[in-house]
Structure 1
Amino acid sequence: MAYSTEKLSEEKVFKDPVHRYIHVRDRVIWDLVGTKEFQRLRRIKQLGTTFLTFHGAEHSRFNHSLGVYEIVRRIIDDVFAGRPEWNDEDRLLTLCAALLHDLGHGPFSHSFEKVFDFDHEDFTRAIILGDTEVNKVLSKAGKDFPEKVAEVIAKTSEKKLVVSLISSQIDADRMDYLQRDAYFTGVSYGQFDMERILRVMRPREDQVVIKKSGMHAVEDYIMSRYQMYWQVYFHPVSRSAEVLLSKILHRAKDLFERNYTFKNKPVHFYSFFNNQAKLEDYLKLDEAVILYYFQIWQEEEDAILSDLCRRFVNRNLFKYAEFDPAKEYKKLAQLTKLFIQADLDPEYYLVVDSSSDLPYDFYRPGEEGERLPIHLLMKNGELRELSRESEIVDAISGKRRTDHKLYYPADFLFDDTENKEIKQQIRALLEI
């Protein structure tokens, strides 16, 4: 089914530090950008607490969403256009899904989701299909258009090629955030030759494939992703800030459940504390609101909540030690006992945090999880899975790396005005 293809009277352009320019000619895209639900993404940081480690990382989900849209626009307008495998009737569907793929992200994204046990993708779908400005804009393109866009983002659409452009092991989402995050954090790890990759992309019925001549550019892309995860996304200092953020929200929720009287009522959190959050509640909660509460909770009478908030606001983060939970569980039990004796609640002040990443994988029959591999298009027209041709990719395929850290408040442990002997025992166990 063809959808509305109304164009603007003249092209609109966003200046962008990564892609130079982001071009908009479609009326639907321009109207979507102007909706209040999409503008809300300006108030959601792309990298959550990473700004406390890399001070330039202040960019937003709004920036990133436009970037993903632009990469997809270039692929389908400049590379796929005219090729028999590409159905140009899917153009608007693909552009809208690219633009809106992160629409449901909440404040501080994944940390916030874990505390309140929900998935941002559910809210993305709710925004697209609910009584929202986004839904009204999409519905102008076609009655069933919002549902079709939601299906692509949820990866349930029958249009597998469209899905793979936005969500696969080599998609526009990853290509934008690697470059954008590298730019704003000031690191070089996320840089790769995107221009080359775009030139060698080819459409197939179920997914995007890469010409064999572009294999080395794809190797570089995968290694860039690997480095970004361990040097930026899983940076131990950023994880310390995430630990504090998570513990603040857990403490506030626990106090609410115990009928604690807050000096300033956390009205924006009530529905979340009660596990009854509706879409309208979710859309009102952004990072400015969260940081406002962290600011005023510094003055709360509850010593743990006020201390954790002061730490986050003033960047007095927890320190960390290397930790192997499989081998050091007895040490953790000892530390837990000592923390209690030192009047430090281990629930909030002794935290194990784990990070894990799988840089590239391919589907193995009989194993759980669908992994759509990257396929190379050979000169004879045959498709070959990437790791069968690349020794570099083969070396890391299917190899999950996991890192564990133990976080604790070093300043408390070096304050010997109270529980001096116990704190000395703790420091000895932590080897600090």
Structure 2
Amino acid sequence: MSIDAVTGDATAITPEAATSEFLHSLSKPAHILVAVSGGSDSTGLLIALAERLKSHPHDDITLTAATIDHGLRAASAGEAREVAAFCASRGISHFIRRWEGEKPGTGIMAAAREARYALLAELASEISADAIVTAHTWDDQRETIAMRGARRGQGGYGTGIADAVLFDRRIWVVRPFLACRRAEIRTYLETRDVSWLDDPSNEDARYERVRTRMELAREPVAEMPADGGADRAALSERAAVWLDEHVAIHAGALCAVARPGLSADAAVVAYALSYLAAIFGGSSYPPGRAQMERVLEFVNGANLGRRTAGGVIFDLRRDALYLMRESRNIAPVSVLPGEKVNWDGRFEIENFGPTAVRVSAPGVGNTTIFPANLPGGVVKRAQAAMPSIVPEGGDKAASVALLPRLAPFDRFLTRFDLTFANSLSVAFGREAYRRLPISAL
């Protein structure tokens, strides 16, 4: 898949060309799971893949489709069955998965997205799929860039949708149609006499994306603006080098940035520190722009001392900048036998023992896990936010696995950030992230 097709001032390409390019770039053998809602985009993607594999047979590529029924509309179950029947008529293996349980009262679209990816990932594991494929388009990209730009108050454009995203460290989600226009996809289907379903929520102005789509419809259609992906991928690579040269991670709870590192490329320092702050704060997102601007002003200043942002202490000393979790607002949790729990967004704790364990802060005692040359006050603050794991009842010792969690990357990791994330994962004592299933990026 051409990097220019998704990260530059891209010229839209046809569904057939996008499909051919994707299959050519796919690491093989491969079993791909296509997410199909029944709408024009996903139906077009499924048909284009099926037709290409039929006209250019690949014994080493398996195609499966899946529909997620979110259960948010009365008609959704029937629509999922329509998609299943359509796939059956084409000889395509198809599964339906339903989002069960109580739905949140707010943030329904974000929750639905999380549920959709989780259900697709579970199914992919069941059928041994190597990648999930979704039908995000040029139009989706344009809307996303406009929305993110508006949220940042740029009055312009932000970073767009990535062509590949790793979900939950488990499976890559690839978007072959990101340089295809929806109008061309529909023309492609019409020439093949293939119909599609229209989701009424796509016309509901209560949703930000729908409002943005309506606004963009009133503007002249232009070339896709640069989505920032190529620049961010390059920044990720430079930040990985910076990390290796200037940063040390201790016990997954303390970060030391050598003083010379703070004088490096300002864009690299801002990028890396924002993600380090998210990780040590247990947050899926870096601190806001205003917060990070204050942090960067502080670390670049002449005054030593401490600042707090996003639940993270930035302790600036003559030798280094130290980052650690603030010891406030760390809730204890109980972990049942056989259960895996995310504690404070910073650690994954899996209980292998026969007894429930309680995880809380502060962790106390063994200071030898930190190098002796670290400042005592820094070590004390880091320890105050470390996990203490104690069996609940009985005298049996706890049997647990404790892994640092890289909150901004462990759930959704864009291909743009992969190089930096891999270096960071290794620095925390974890394995590198899964390899991309696409060979020609």
User: Could you say whether these structures have the same fold, taking a TM-score greater than 0.5 normalized by the shorter chain as the test?
Assistant: no
TM bucket (normalised to shorter chain) is under 0.3
Higher helix share: 1
Higher strand share: 2
TM-score (norm 1): 0.24
Structure with more contact order per residue of length (Cα contacts < 8 Å, sep ≥ 6): 2
